[in-house]
């Protein structure tokens, strides 16, 4: 019984969940250098198709929201995924992360208004705004800082300007958004790049094919 299932599993395409946006733009050339031409995925994406079979490689590509990649992979709806360290750390799911792809580079930082620095030792009630509530919680815990976390879904840089928060925890790439809003970086929590993630069931079912994928990508990152 077990054997039959494994055979059937090996016959079906390996499913890869890729996040739309900048990571996808950087991932496609990387996969191509690794000998995996997924340009059909880019063309299909332009045509609004989100499930793309790449039969010649025995693959199927799913184009999903970046924050949804770990759920697809953890539940086995995709065997492999590409997700930023920010998303992976925030969700902290049960996944293998065999390879850092070195794309989608930015950093997770704490920032505050240039003209209103926070005194962490004062007894005032501090508020941190972020899309990354869990990363913020762990950061505050590690620092021994007591603060309220205000969960937002975007445009985080506005929060300190309008009195919603004292500080923010957010991604910084060029630094332009911080500059535009007169915010200064207080500290980097960790550098971010996109990683390959693999589900536990997929690692068992498709171990050889996933090892081959990782080896090909490792040669070009
Ligand atoms: C991200 C991030 C910052 C900005 C940083 O936002 O949250 O706001 O990019 O980039 P920069 O350092 O190059 O200016 P995104 O564009 O994803 O939009 P969001 O604010 O709605 O999350």
Per residue in 179-206, pLDDT tens?
999 999 999 999 999 999 999 999 999 9
Residues lining ligand 1, Cβ inside 6 A? 154-157, 170-177
What is the CA(171)–ligand 1 centre distance, in A?
6
Q: How many helices (H) and strands (E) does the chain have?
A: 10, 11
Mutate to test the pocket of ligand 1, among 177, 181, 185, 189 (most ligand atoms within 8 A of CB): 177
Count of alpha carbons within 13 angstroms of residue 55, beta-carbon side: 0
64/75 Cα distance (integer angstroms):
14
- Give this prediction's pTM: 0.92
The predicted-structure confidence for 38-74, as pLDDT tens digits, reads as follows 988 888 777 788 899 999 999 999 999 999 999 999 9
| Span from the CA of 173 to the centroid of ligand 1 (angstroms) | 8
Which parts of 35-150 fold into alpha helices (H)?
39-46, 69-74, 85-91, 133-143
Give burial (CB, 10 Å; 0-12/13-18/19+) of 221.
Answer: middle
Q: What is the C-alpha separation between 81 and 8, in angstroms, rounded?
A: 21
Spatial CA neighbour of 19 closest among 94, 75, 88: 88
Per-position DSSP letters for 32-50, written without gaps between them:
HHTT---HHHHHHHHTT--
Q: Tell me which residue has its CA closest to atom 19 in ligand 1.
A: 154
Instruction: Kindly give the confidence (pLDDT) of every residue in the chain, 221 residues in length, as a single tens digit, with 9 standing for 90 and above.
Output: 344 444 444 579 999 999 999 999 999 999 999 999 998 888 877 778 889 999 999 999 999 999 999 999 999 999 999 999 999 999 999 999 999 999 999 999 999 999 999 987 787 899 999 999 999 999 999 999 999 999 999 999 999 999 999 999 999 999 999 999 999 999 999 999 999 999 999 999 999 999 999 999 999 99
Q: Which of 171, 174, 179, 182 to mutate to test the pocket of ligand 1 (most atoms within 8 A of CB)?
A: 171
Residue 131 CA: nearest ligand 1 atom is 22
Tell the burial category of 139 from Cβ atoms under 10 Å away from its Cβ (0-12, 13-18, 19+): buried
Which tokens hold the place of 81?
């995924």
Q: What span, in angstroms and rounded, lies between the C-alpha atoms of 11 and 19?
A: 25
């Amino acid at each position: 019984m077990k054997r039959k299932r494994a055979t059937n599993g090996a016959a079906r395409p390996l499913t890869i969940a890729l996040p739309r946006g900048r990571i996808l733009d950087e991932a496609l050339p990387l996969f191509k250098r690794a000998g995996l031409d997924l340009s059909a995925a880019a063309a299909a994406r332009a045509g609004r198709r989100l499930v793309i079979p790449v039969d010649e490689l025995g693959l199927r590509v799913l184009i999903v929201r970046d924050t949804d990649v770990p759920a697809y992979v953890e539940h086995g709806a995709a065997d492999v995924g590409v997700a930023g360290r920010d998303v992976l750390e925030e969700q902290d799911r049960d996944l293998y992360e065999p390879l850092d792809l070195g794309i989608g580079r930015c950093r997770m930082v704490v920032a505050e208004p240039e003209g209103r620095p926070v005194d962490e030792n004062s007894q005032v009630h501090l508020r941190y705004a972020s899309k990354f509530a869990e990363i913020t919680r762990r950061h505050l815990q590690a620092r021994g800082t007591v603060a309220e976390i205000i969960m937002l879904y975007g445009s985080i840089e506005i929060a300190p300007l309008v009195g919603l928060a004292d500080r923010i925890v957010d991604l910084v790439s060029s630094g332009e958004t911080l500059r535009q809003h007169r915010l200064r970086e207080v500290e980097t929590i960790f550098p971010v790049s996109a990683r390959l993630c693999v589900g536990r069931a997929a690692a068992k079912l498709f171990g050889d094919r996933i090892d081959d994928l990782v080896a090909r990508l490792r040669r070009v990152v």
